[in-house]
Amino acid sequence: MRKKIVAGNWKMNTTVAEGVELAKAVAAGSAKVPADVKLIIAPPFTHLVPVAEAIKGTAIGLSAQNCADKEKGAYTGEVAADMLVSAGCQYTILGHSERRQYYGETDAKLVEKVKLAIANGLSPIFCVGENLEEREAGRHFDVVTEQVKNVLYTLSAEDMAKVIIAYEPVWAIGTGKTATAEQAQEIHACIRKVIAEKFGALSEEITILYGGSCKPSNAKELFACPDIDGGLIGGAALKADDFIAIALSY
Ligand code: PGA
């Protein structure tokens, strides 16, 4: 049985005080969520320590939104994987399209980040997804296949088992345009097949999340698809009620 996960990516939103309040509201609402649906929240770096405290005693997982591609040292402004662990994280998002697009994150850098995250005990939430131009050109399967292969094919099976994949079509992120359940399912199935080509039956164990304008009104249909194992939620994760309602859509 694959793990079902609903993860909230807060992006660059909320002050520390607002973030702690949001985490507390998610913690309160989490009591209603069935035990087989794992909730994860990914606040900004500055919020991790107090948010870890706010969700203590709950089953909610804590994730960062990025980590450095270097172990430690003179890399001003970067945050290393072991620092995230010491702040209370079990996960980190890596390769989000906003990082790829605005901060020049390459597959080569992501190989380093994914490996360092895993070596330090974090599970990466590794994001892939095509942009609008690529989808319109009919290249979405190829783009996603390449993103998966370039980074995840460098891992051992033991390390691959720790990875969560998130498929996030760039044209659906923050735009209100969700991929249809059919569009999402066919890419998720493709990702699982690409993982199977290298890692065999392990592909059946890998959680693949959908992200991109996922909200309470469309979560149920998406989560009903056989290869969709949950969601990576942006905008709707900033409201505890919506985030919990999405988790309750399972
Ligand atoms: P969105 O963002 O739900 O606001 O579209 C999803 C994401 O980028 O993780």
Residues 6+ apart with CB under 8 A from 230: 3, 4, 5, 6, 7, 37, 38, 207, 209, 210, 223, 250
- Quickly count: other Cβ atoms within 10 Å of residue 145's Cβ: 18
Residues 6+ apart with CB under 8 A from 186: none
| pLDDT confidence of residue 250 | 85
CA separation for the pair 110, 126 (Å, rounded): 9
- Give the DSSP H or E segment for 93: strand 91-94
| pLDDT at res. 5 | 98
Active site residue 188: no
Could you give the CA distance from residue 201 to residue 218 in angstroms, rounded to a whole number?
A: 30
Closest by Cα among 162, 151, 177 to 235: 177
Of the candidates 237, 105, 228, which has an alpha carbon nearest to the alpha carbon of residue 168?
A: 228
Q: How confident is the model at residue 178, as a pLDDT?
A: 86
Choice among 47, 96, 140, 188 that is catalytic: 96
Active site residue 158: no
Tell me, what's the pLDDT at 176?
Answer: 85
Q: Which of 98, 105, 168, 188 is an active site residue?
A: 168
- Residue 46 CA to residue 15 CA, distance in Å, equals 9
Q: How many CB atoms lie within 10 A of CB 47?
A: 24
**Ligand 1 atom 2, closest CA:** 234
Residue 233 C-alpha to ligand 1 middle, in angstroms? 5
How many Cα atoms within 13 Å fall on the side-chain side of residue 144? Answer: 30
- Ligand 1 centroid from CA 212, angstroms: 5
Report residues of the chain scoring pLDDT below 50: none
Q: Quick check: 139 and 130 in contact, CB under 8 A?
A: yes
Position in ligand 1 atom list of the atom nearest CA 98: 8
74: CA distance to ligand 1 center in Å? 32
For helices 16-30 and 240-247, give the axis angle rounded to 10 degrees: 30
Q: Round to whole Å and give the CA distance between 24 and 205.
A: 31
Residue-level pLDDT at 177: 84
Pocket of ligand 1 (CB under 6 A): 9, 168, 173-174, 211-214, 232-236
Mutate to test the pocket of ligand 1, among 93, 173, 208, 209 (most ligand atoms within 8 A of CB): 173
Centre of ligand 1 to C-alpha 173, Å, is 5
